[in-house]
Amino acid sequence: KAGVTQTPRYLIKTRGQQVTLSCSPISGHRSVSWYQQTPGQGLQFLFEYFSETQRNKGNFPGRFSGRQFSNSRSEMNVSTLELGDSALYLCASSLRRQGMNTEAFFGQGTRLTVV
């Protein structure tokens, strides 16, 4: 069974540009969550999508957005990039069944560098 796939693995962008990152969840998983990891702030929750709807959102500015497609694949977008957006962006998928907790499986991440 294939794991969570994130593309691209590495990305270099210039301040002011925008970027789109992609995540393909494990087959059958309908929940996709995004996290940002930086040396200073650690791993922080960005948002979660389930059935093409954003279900939860972390404390990030509106420049960070996402969407989920009918096949559960998800994209996140960061507009007007700032140097502080340089980070490892991680995607996690889970079954998210009603009435039970299910573990989240993470991808390898996309390393974004803003110059």
For residues 50 to 89, the per-residue mask of contacts with other proteins, x marking binding by CB under 8 A and - elsewhere, is: x----xx-x-----------------------------x-
Task: Tell me if 96 contacts other proteins by CB under 8 A.
Answer: yes
Main-chain dihedrals φ then ψ at residue 84, nearest 5 degrees: -70, -5
Question: Sign of torsion, CA 115 18 9 55?
Answer: positive
For residues 3 to 42, the per-residue mask of contacts with other proteins, x marking binding by CB under 8 A and - elsewhere, is: -x--------------------------x-x-x------x
Of residues 11 and 105, the one with the C-beta less far from other proteins:
105
